[in-house]
Amino acid sequence: MGSVAALLLVALAAGFLVYRAYENSGRRVYVVGQTGSVAALSAPTTETHTAYEARNLVRNFMLTMFGHDQYTYKANLDAALPLIEGRGGRRIYDGFTRGQVLQNYERYAARNVVTVDSVTIDMNHRPWSGRVYIKQRIFIGGEQKEPLPLAAKFNLSETNRSDANPYGMLITNFDYIAYNPEVTREETQLLKEQEADRQRALQEAQRGAGAAAPAAEEEAPLLAPTRPVAPAAPAPARR
């Protein structure tokens, strides 16, 4: 009985000392793990987050979650997923899986280059909210396809900072919204030039095949699919 009482006394004393240290310092008590620090005791945080930091979080998420090729696909998703709550990240990833994005990257030597058009953040009201607008440029080989716009609305919640998420904020309620910007004059001109180059290459190939094999003159040339299934973002979820 004496030893049990002694252990209980030690435990109570240790708990009281932790409580007093917490009360006197006015800070959180953290448990440090491999992925970062986790608050062991809840307390109002005095840490502030800025709209600049929030925009960087969202911009980095969009660039890594949607911009990749067969070589960077896994690494970019590993970097992006800690920045969004689990359910939202899983929904985007499942869309990639159903669309066979990685397989299409490998099949067509394709890549998706993301440009962030704008990020808007409202931190004047809780929950914090925002919208992001991007363009996706699909390249198959060295040829660029017509840009694919994508936009989403979301909320931001506070979380503990870690190596995987140094921003201390988490994207929540991520949902796609309509976004149909006009194709710029430069992009239109580039697409026209690419199509003209492709037609010239096909004509030269046809002339070469005709000279080498006159007997096969009426046979249609063997071409790559005119509309390959290019990697694309999942369609907005229906409510």
Q: What percent of the chain has pLDDT over 90?
A: 52
Task: Report the pLDDT averaged over residues 143-155.
Answer: 94
Q: For residue 146, name the pLDDT band (cuts at 50, 70, 90).
A: confident
More confident: 199 or 123: 123
Residue percentage of the chain with pLDDT more than 70 = 64
Residue-number span of the structural domain to which 126 is assigned: 51-177
Going by pLDDT thresholds of 50, 70 and 90, the confidence category of residue 150 is very high
Report whether pLDDT(99) > 80. Answer: yes
Predicted TM-score (pTM) of this structure: 0.64
Residue 102 lies in a domain: yes
Within-domain flag for 38: no
Q: Would 6 be classed as within a structural domain?
A: no
- 109 part of a folded domain: yes
Between the CA of residue 15 and those of 18, 32, 218, what are the distances in Å? 5, 19, 89
Average of per-residue pLDDT across 92-103: 97
Give the pLDDT score at 202.
Answer: 72
Question: What is the model's pLDDT at position 75?
Answer: 98
In-domain check, residue 230:
no
Query: Can you give the CATH number for the domain in which 148 is found?
Result: 3.10.450.230
Residue 27 has pLDDT above 50, yes or no: no
Is residue 93 a part of any domain in this protein? yes
What's the structural domain count of the chain? 1
Local confidence band at 23 (pLDDT 50, 70, 90 cut-offs): very low
Phi/psi at 31 (5° precision): -105, 125
Answer whether residue 47 shows pLDDT above 50: yes
In three-state form (DSSP H/G/I as H, E/B as E, the rest C), the secondary structure along 123-136 is: CCCCCEEEEEEEEE
Report the alpha-carbon distance of residue 143 to residue 113 in Å, rounded. 12
- Residue 84 falls within a domain, yes or no? yes
222 pLDDT higher than 80: no
Structural domain contains residue 228? no
What pLDDT score does 191 carry? 66
